[in-house]
């Protein structure tokens, strides 16, 4: 019997790790397509000094820290390079290919990323060489001209993005100068706003599983995802899924969210490099069981089939398609095929059917169990002030209950 360990590198989150641990435990031993039996366990990883030659016990790690905490990040790079540990996500591509690179690559692939300009730092860079270098080589520029070329309204936001830090909407020159002055030591993009978009679609992708959700950025956290079924035409539904999966397959990101704005039949991707996508039950609510289920299926698939990790991006097959004289829809279809190849989607689906046939039922049973309700109660207590507990508990019980009803119909 083969044993596999999934390591969790966690920050402040309690909700989804508890859900994930419980579901992997309930999934029990798994029979692989070759008839061998596999036991998968989970463990929360501690951060400690490590010898670079030390062998890790983990086969796969779900990481939520590397984007800001460098000790575990460097451990992840060591175990990927030396021990073939499979990572969701790999810091190799997330560290070098942040938002800015993601814009560049997807522009070359033909996606409708809004016009974007990178402007130099507002404040001097903290480096003794800066004064000389900038005096000699920094070209003076007229911010107003650049902005009027991009066109108002626009967004000013950091080139590496994340959590709405430093993002502002710019409607006029006064906004422009205020925001640029405030940007200080951050490196900023100016990006044309997709003004008056009809739908904000946010796609969460885990391996080859994608859920495109209707997002309302102006609502409070617990109300941002709207439970909506037919908010996109079938064709746009497919296009947004393909865009999200293309981003992930291209960069080898496996657990990521992709934000797209839809206007006049065009999908504009605006933010799709999220190394630590939000999967809190208090924001995903209805979609939380789907997210947990996908994370369980994909990570068990990777462990049991010994899927090998690739640390580097291979741009060539993508750019071959991108640079061809082909219309956008045809390119998207070709990207979808490359994504399916990268994620081994057909084999994954077959594995889920034959080795994990019980997981859908199991997740539904769990969502209907006291264990799930306890998780909800604990999370609400930890997240909201006491006078709001009752209201939020009813809100999330209602939405997850609705999921259970819909799921029961799907499973028959």
Ligand X SMILES: Nc1ncnc2c1ncn2[C@@H]1O[C@H](COP(=O)(O)OP(=O)(O)O)[C@@H](O)[C@H]1O
State which of residues 7, 56, 91, 162 lies at the interface with ligand X (CB under 6 A): 162
- CA-to-CA separations, 23 to 17, 64, 155, 298, 360, in angstroms, rounded: 10, 19, 41, 13, 11
What whole-number distance in Å separates Cα of residue 30 and Cα of residue 25? 11
What whole-number distance in Å separates Cα of residue 206 and Cα of residue 244? 10
Which of ligand X, Mg ion, none does residue 221 bind to, with CB < 5 to 8 Å depending on kind? Answer: none
State which of residues 27, 156, 261, 356 lies at the interface with ligand X (CB under 6 A): 261
270 part of the interface to ligand X, by CB under 6 A = yes
State which of residues 271, 300, 367, 380 lies at the interface with ligand X (CB under 6 A): 271
114 part of the interface to ligand X, by CB under 6 A = yes
155 part of the interface to ligand X, by CB under 6 A = yes
271 part of the interface to Mg ion, by CB under 5 A = yes
How many beta carbons lie within 10 A of that of residue 376, not counting itself? 21
164 part of the interface to ligand X, by CB under 6 A = yes
Nearer to ligand X, 264 or 353 (CB): 264
Residues in the chain: 412
How many beta carbons lie within 10 A of that of residue 190, not counting itself? 23
120 part of the interface to ligand X, by CB under 6 A = no
What whole-number distance in Å separates Cα of residue 62 and Cα of residue 310? 15
167 part of the interface to ligand X, by CB under 6 A = yes
Which of ligand X, Mg ion, none does residue 391 bind to, with CB < 5 to 8 Å depending on kind? Answer: none
193 part of the interface to ligand X, by CB under 6 A = yes
State which of residues 67, 73, 157, 241 lies at the interface with ligand X (CB under 6 A): 157
Which of ligand X, Mg ion, none does residue 261 bind to, with CB < 5 to 8 Å depending on kind? Answer: ligand X
What whole-number distance in Å separates Cα of residue 284 and Cα of residue 226? 9
15 part of the interface to Mg ion, by CB under 5 A = no
278 part of the interface to Mg ion, by CB under 5 A = no
Nearer to Mg ion, 15 or 271 (CB): 271
259 part of the interface to ligand X, by CB under 6 A = yes
User: Minimum distance between the CB of residue 223 and Mg ion, rounded to whole angstroms?
Assistant: 17
Q: How far is CA 297 from the centre of its chain?
A: 17
What whole-number distance in Å separates Cα of residue 380 and Cα of residue 390? 9
What whole-number distance in Å separates Cα of residue 299 and Cα of residue 120? 41
Q: Which residues contact 137 (CB under 8 A, 6 or more apart)?
A: none
Nearer to Mg ion, 254 or 271 (CB): 271
Choose the binding region for ligand X from 15-23, 60-68, 84-92, 153-161 (rule: CB under 6 A): 153-161
Written as one string, the DSSP assignment of 157-203 is EETT--TTTT-EEE-SHHHHHHHHHHHTTS-EEEEE--TT-SEEEEE
What whole-number distance in Å separates Cα of residue 298 and Cα of residue 239? 22
225 part of the interface to ligand X, by CB under 6 A = no
Radius of gyration in angstroms for the set of CA atoms belonging to the chain, rounded to a whole number:
22
Window 58-97: contact mask with ligand X (x via CB under 6 A): ----------------------------------------
User: Quick one: which H or E segment has residue 8?
Assistant: strand 2-9
Residues forming contacts to Mg ion in the complex (CB under 5 A) are 271
Residues forming contacts to ligand X in the complex (CB under 6 A) are 114, 155, 157, 161-165, 167, 191, 193-194, 217, 259, 261, 270-271
């Amino acid at each position: 019997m083969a044993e596999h360990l999934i390591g969790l590198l966690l920050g402040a989150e309690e909700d989804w790790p508890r859900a994930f641990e419980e579901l992997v435990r309930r999934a029990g031993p798994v029979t692989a397509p070759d008839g061998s039996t596999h036991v998968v366990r989970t463990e929360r990883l501690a951060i400690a000094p490590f010898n670079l030659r030390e062998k890790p016990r983990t086969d796969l790690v779900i990481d939520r820290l590397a984007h800001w905490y460098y000790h575990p990040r460097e451990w992840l790079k060591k175990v990927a390079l030396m021990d073939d540990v499979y990572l969701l996500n790999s810091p190799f591509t997330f560290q070098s290919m942040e938002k800015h690179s993601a814009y560049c690559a997807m522009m070359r692939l033909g996606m409708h990323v809004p016009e974007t300009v990178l402007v130099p730092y507002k404040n001097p860079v903290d480096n003794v060489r800066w004064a000389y270098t900038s005096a000699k080589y920094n070209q003076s520029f007229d911010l107003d001209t650049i902005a009027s070329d991009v066109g108002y309204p626009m967004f000013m936001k950091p080139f590496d993005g994340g959590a709405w830090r430093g993002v502002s909407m710019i409607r006029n020159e006064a906004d422009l100068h205020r925001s640029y002055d405030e940007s200080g030591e951050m490196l900023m993009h100016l990006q044309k706003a997709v003004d008056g978009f009809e739908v904000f679609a946010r796609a969460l992708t885990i391996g080859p599983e994608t859920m495109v959700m209707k997002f309302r950025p102006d609502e409070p956290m617990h109300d941002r995802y709207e439970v909506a079924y037919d908010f996109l035409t079938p064709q746009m539904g497919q296009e947004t899924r393909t865009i999200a999966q293309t981003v992930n397959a291209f960069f080898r990101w496996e657990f990521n969210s992709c934000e797209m704005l839809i206007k006049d039949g065009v999908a504009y991707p605006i933010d799709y490099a999220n190394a630590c996508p939000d999967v809190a039950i208090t924001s995903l609510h209805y979609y939380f069981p789907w997210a947990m289920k996908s994370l369980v299926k994909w990570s068990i698939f990777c462990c049991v089939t010994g899927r090998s990790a690739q640390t580097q991006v291979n741009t060539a097959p993508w750019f071959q398609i991108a640079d061809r004289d082909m219309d956008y829809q045809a390119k998207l279809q070709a990207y979808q095929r490359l994504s399916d190849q990268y994620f081994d989607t057909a084999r994954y689906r077959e594995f889920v059917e034959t080795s994990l046939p019980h997981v859908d039922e199991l997740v539904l049973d769990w969502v209907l169990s006291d264990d799930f309700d306890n998780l909800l109660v604990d999370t609400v207590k930890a997240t909201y002030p006491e006078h709001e507990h009752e209201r939020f508990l009813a809100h999330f019980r209602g939405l997850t209950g609705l999921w259970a009803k819909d799921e029961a119909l799907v499973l028959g």
